[in-house]
Copies of this chain bind each other. A is one copy, B any other.
Amino acid sequence: MTEQLDSNGRLRHLLTLEGLPRPVLLRLLDRAQALREHAFDGTALRATLAGKAVCNLFFEPSTRTRSSFRLAATRLGADTLDFDASTSSTKKGESAADTLRTLEAMGVHGFVVRHPDDGAVAALARVAGDGTALVNAGDGRHAHPTQGLLDMLTLRQARGDDFAAMKVLIVGDVRHSRVARSDLHALRILGAGDIRVCGPQSLLPDDGTLSGCTVSGDFDAALEGVDAVMMLRLQRERMAQGLVSSLEDYHRDYGLTEARLRRAAPDAVVMHPGPMNRGVEIDAAVADGPQSLVLRQVGNGVAVRMAVLEALLAR
């Protein structure tokens, strides 16, 4: 997918990590790392996007992701606007494209878009005007590229640059997870040497998503010697859908406990995109334990979003 790059190879939108050139991805990570150090307090960076407006255009609610993007935009000096499209004129039958064009006409040129449908953000990008940049903040089960970036930044901080030597395990509901898809894209671009995926058959994708991964239903076996365990959130609706028999069963087979974690490398790190279901996919002792990077992921998320907004809008 090259439509997110302009003819000079510069990032115009961030829609997916799939097919993103490695140097573009690394540049974002490097910039986010630099911002991470000193960008959350103070006003040094306020000139970056001063006078520009960034709109959180959410067709699906998410206070957490919206807050992260909002803080990122604010710290770069942008004006921010929350447009909750689930309670607005879109309810009156207005199309997402009309909403986008309306906001563009008001002088908004940065959009952070979340949408329940796969590919909806890329579709919006195709109708956007020349000076407009979109960031996909999650579309259906398709992609959540800033989550993928922040996960890579976190991995790199903890385990260094040598992705080829890294053993990474992704666990849980990969089938419905845009987080997993974006992580897999990023890990491949960075050349991760050993990518493992583990979960119940009913929650694993049956398309090409997992090509090149070692897939297993046996969590204990999959954990052996890994450097990083990336847990996914289990949506409780999977039970109603009959994809999971019970939370207890799920925890028994795919919950990360302290005992289980000992199968991983001694200094293995644990990640989770949040919000966590403690006691379901992850035990509190692990979530809050010394190997957990969950809160560092959150902080890195703001830095990554600042790097992305800067790359797209600071022109």
- With a CB–CB cut-off of 8 A, which chain B residues contact A41? 51-52, 107
Whether a CB of chain B sits under 8 angstroms from the CB of A155 is: no
The residue on B at minimum CB distance from A77 is B43
Instruction: Using A40-B107, A51-B42, A105-B295 as known contacts, say yes or no to A275 and B61 having CB atoms under 8 A apart.
Output: no
CB pair A107 B299 closer than 8 Å: yes
What is the CA–CA distance of A101 and B104 in the complex, to the nearest angstrom?
Answer: 35
Identical chains bound together, number: 3
Whether a CB of chain B sits under 8 angstroms from the CB of A98 is: yes
Q: List 24 A-B contacts (CB under 8 A).
A: A40-B107, A41-B52, A42-B50, A43-B50, A43-B51, A61-B88, A63-B83, A63-B84, A63-B89, A67-B106, A71-B106, A71-B107, A75-B107, A89-B274, A89-B275, A92-B275, A93-B277, A94-B276, A98-B274, A98-B275, A98-B276, A102-B274, A102-B275, A105-B295
What is the CA–CA distance of A303 and B41 in the complex, to the nearest angstrom?
Answer: 24
Whether a CB of chain B sits under 8 angstroms from the CB of A146 is: no
The residue on B at minimum CB distance from A95 is B278
Instruction: Using A43-B51, A79-B74 as known contacts, say yes or no to A67 and B98 having CB atoms under 8 A apart.
Output: no
- With a CB–CB cut-off of 8 A, which chain B residues contact A94? 274-276
Nearest-neighbour CB distance to chain B for A45, whole angstroms, equals: 9
Interface mask (A44-81 → B, CB under 8 Å = 1, otherwise 0): 00000011110000000111100110110011000101
